[in-house]
Amino acid sequence: MTKPGKGPARRGWRQGRVLALLAVLVACLLVFHGAVPQTPGRMGSLLETFLPWLGLAVPVLLVLALVRRSYLATAALALPVAAWTALFGGLVFSHEGIPRDGSSPGDGPAPRLTVVQHNVSDVNPDPAATARALAAVGADLVALEELTPSALPAFEAALAADHPHHATRGTVGLWSAYPLTDVRLVDIRPRGVGEGWNRGLRATARTPWGEVAVHVAHLPSVRLGPADGFSSALRDESAVLLGEAVAAERLDRVVLLGDLNSTVDDRGLAPVVSRMSVPASGFAFSWPASLPVARIDQVLTRSATVTGIRSLPATGSDHLPVTARIRW
């Protein structure tokens, strides 16, 4: 006969303490990721770049908790589940997005823009096919990065019919269904980078709903290595310059399209993200194209809302294109 308080139920609450602590740790990393220090190797930014994937720890810990028959560990998993849902649940469960047939969601007559953002890759083996794929989306604005002189004619030809207005500066470009004015280079070069490094432009799009300042930017790449860890110093410095350019905009409505080389959770992009609104729904992982694990291609707004964002099929680039709908 089992003595009171000594049965399986009590054992279930006493064992699995390590698993319970791991569950609490995952929850803390999700909620307090900003407290993770940058040194050594900018570990905070590295964690934030892949922050949604911490949710994968939950099913792993759940299986282990069931194997251990640990009530304690199973109950503790409510913490990371709640934390993940609070952070990312809106991206999953939002009811508004971009229909794949190109139709508009039935959410009222509010004016909208549809945009495409794509790093087309400077080693794209078939830029003409990429250009045709982007033209088929039917977007109002198309922003491109890593444009090369040899690939530029292919994009000009494919996009001209529906996007008669376009501008390029350095390796970034903007194609628009609406007239573009006040086009200028935005200097986001980090210190020590040569003058030929031009990766930012700004233009005013004259839409039927008023003028919109459109920025296209390509921030420096980051590297992950055993010596330096997550190397993002140049990217972070460029983000400060881009944030200042956005803050200086005289127009209320601003759209930023670009390869920012990180996610909106990464504190390195705070100088930009803190001044803009992020998409309300959709993960839209865009990199790497072969197995997307992060959205580093961004659509950010001011005085407007990105109501849906999704990735598009692969082109010849190592990034996936993303398309988004913007509502004023």
Q: In which band, very low, low, confident or very high, does the pLDDT at 97 lie, cut at 50, 70 and 90?
A: low
Does residue 189 fall inside a structural domain? Answer: yes
Residue span of the structural domain in which 134 resides: 112-327
* 207 and 300, same domain (yes or no): yes
Does residue 275 fall inside a structural domain? Answer: yes
**pLDDT (0 to 100) of residue 281:** 83
* 89 and 166, same domain (yes or no): no
Does residue 258 fall inside a structural domain? Answer: yes
* 178 and 263, same domain (yes or no): yes
Does residue 143 fall inside a structural domain? Answer: yes
Helix (H) or strand (E) holding 324: strand 322-327
Query: Which has more pLDDT, 222 or 136?
Result: 136
Question: Shortest CA distance to 215 belongs to which of 173, 275, 165, 255?
Answer: 255
**pLDDT (0 to 100) of residue 102:** 46
Residues 243-260: what's their mean pLDDT? 98
* 79 and 122, same domain (yes or no): no
Long-range contacts of range 193-197, CB-CB < 8 Å, 24 or more positions apart? 193/220, 193/234, 196/170, 197/170
**pLDDT (0 to 100) of residue 195:** 85
* 249 and 130, same domain (yes or no): yes
Q: Is 50 exceeded by the pLDDT of residue 234? A: yes
| Residues paired with 200 in a beta bridge | 217
Does residue 302 fall inside a structural domain? Answer: yes
Distance CA 102, CA 139 (A): 10
Distance CA 51, CA 264 (A): 10
**pLDDT (0 to 100) of residue 92:** 81
Distance CA 195, CA 43 (A): 31
What is the CATH number for 133? 3.60.10.10
Helix (H) or strand (E) holding 298: strand 297-302
Does residue 106 fall inside a structural domain? Answer: no
Does residue 162 fall inside a structural domain? Answer: yes
Question: Shortest CA distance to 296 belongs to which of 304, 287, 305?
Answer: 287
Question: Shortest CA distance to 87 belongs to which of 32, 124, 37?
Answer: 32
Number of H helices, E strands in the chain: 10, 13
Map tokens 């992060």 to a residue: 294
DSSP secondary structure string for all residues of 136-156: TT--SEEEEES--TTTHHHHH
What is the residue-averaged pLDDT of the chain?
91
**pLDDT (0 to 100) of residue 111:** 73
Give the up-direction half-sphere exposure of residue 193: CA atoms within 13 A in the CB hemisphere: 16
- Each residue of 60-93: pLDDT tens digit? 999 999 999 999 999 999 999 999 999 998 888 6
- Each residue of 127-148: pLDDT tens digit? 999 999 999 999 999 999 999 9
Residues 24-51: what's their mean pLDDT? 91
> At 242, is the secondary structure helix, strand, or coil?
helix
* 63 and 137, same domain (yes or no): no
User: Where among 64, 93, 122 does a domain terminate?
Assistant: 93
Total structural domains in the chain?
Answer: 2
* 218 and 163, same domain (yes or no): yes
DSSP secondary structure string for all residues of 260-287: -SS-TT-GGGHHHHTTSBPPSS-----B
Q: What is the pTM of this model?
A: 0.88
User: Where among 60, 93, 126 does a domain terminate?
Assistant: 93
Q: Is 90 exceeded by the pLDDT of residue 326? A: yes
Residues 225-229: what's their mean pLDDT? 63
Question: Shortest CA distance to 86 belongs to which of 142, 150, 144, 32?
Answer: 32
* 119 and 51, same domain (yes or no): no
Distance CA 6, CA 26 (A): 31
Query: Which has more pLDDT, 2 or 149?
Result: 149
Does residue 117 fall inside a structural domain? Answer: yes
Q: Is 70 exceeded by the pLDDT of residue 106? A: no
Distance CA 283, CA 295 (A): 7
Q: Is 60 exceeded by the pLDDT of residue 45? A: yes
* Rounded (5°) CA angle 270-304-107: 130
* 56 and 188, same domain (yes or no): no
**Residue-level length of the chain:** 328
Per cent of the chain over pLDDT 70 is 89
Q: Is 50 exceeded by the pLDDT of residue 107? A: no
User: Where among 93, 128, 149 does a domain terminate?
Assistant: 93
Q: Is 90 exceeded by the pLDDT of residue 11? A: no
* 309 and 165, same domain (yes or no): yes
| Residues paired with 309 in a beta bridge | 324
The tokens for 287 are: 């990199």
* 163 and 42, same domain (yes or no): no
Helix (H) or strand (E) holding 14: helix 8-14
Residues 19-42: what's their mean pLDDT? 92
* 226 and 129, same domain (yes or no): yes
